[in-house]
Amino acid sequence: MPPNAPPAAGPFGLPRVYWVLWVGQFINRLGGFVLTFLPLFLTEHHHYSDARAGAVLSLYGLGSLFGASLGGWSSDRFGRRRTILASTAASSAVLLLFGAAPAGPLIALAAFAHGVCNAYGPALSAAVADVVAPADRTRAFGYFYWAVNLGFTAAALLGGTLSRHGYHWLFVGDAVTSLALTAIVYAFVPETRPAAAVAEHAEAAPARQLHPFADPRFLPFVVAQFLVLVVFLQSFVTLPLEERAHGLPVGRVGLVAALNGVVIVVMQPLFLRVTKGQPAWRLLTLAALLVGAAALLAATARDLAGFAACMAVVSLGEVAFSGAAPTFVTEIAPPHRRGTYQGAYSLCWAGASLLAPLAGPALRARYGGAAMWITGAGLCALAVVIHALGTRRAERAGG
Render 61-107 in DSSP notation, one character per residue.
Answer: HHHHHHHHHHHHHHHHHT-HHHHHHHHHHHHHHHHHHHHHPPTTHHH
Residue 181: its pLDDT value, please?
96
Where along the chain do its domains lie?
13-190, 211-399
Q: What is the DSSP letter of 213?
A: G
Please state the pTM of the whole predicted model: 0.79
Residue 227: its pLDDT value, please?
97
Q: Mean pLDDT throughout 159-163? A: 75
Q: Please report which confidence band the pLDDT of residue 208 belongs to, taking 50, 70 and 90 as the band edges.
A: low
Q: Tell me, yes or no, if the two domains 13-190 and 211-399 fold the same way.
A: yes
For the chain, what percent of residues have pLDDT higher than 70? 91
254 or 193, higher pLDDT: 193
What letter represents residue 268's amino acid?
Answer: Q
**Helix, strand, coil percentages for the chain (3-state, nearest 5):** 85, 0, 15
- pLDDT reading at 354 higher than 50: yes
Contact by Cβ (8 Å): 334, 399: yes
SS3 9: strand
Instruction: Specify the CATH architecture of the domain 13-190.
Output: Up-down Bundle (1.20)
- The whole-angstrom distance between residue 309's C-alpha and the CA centroid of its chain comes to 23
Greatest CA separation for the chain: 61
SS3 156: helix
Residue 202: its pLDDT value, please?
45
SS3 15: strand
Q: Mean pLDDT throughout 369-378? A: 96
Q: What is the DSSP letter of 164?
A: T
Helix axes 50-77, 80-100, angle to 10 degrees: 160
Residue 170: its pLDDT value, please?
87
- pLDDT reading at 132 higher than 90: yes
Contact by Cβ (8 Å): 94, 179: no
What is the rounded CA–CA span in Å between residue 361 and residue 355? 11
Q: Please report which confidence band the pLDDT of residue 309 belongs to, taking 50, 70 and 90 as the band edges.
A: very high
**CATH class, 211-399 region:** mainly alpha
Q: Please report which confidence band the pLDDT of residue 50 belongs to, taking 50, 70 and 90 as the band edges.
A: low
- What does the CA dihedral 89, 321, 26, 97 come to, rounded to 10 degrees? 30
Q: Please report which confidence band the pLDDT of residue 175 belongs to, taking 50, 70 and 90 as the band edges.
A: very high
Residue 197: its pLDDT value, please?
57
For the chain, what percent of residues have pLDDT higher than 90? 49
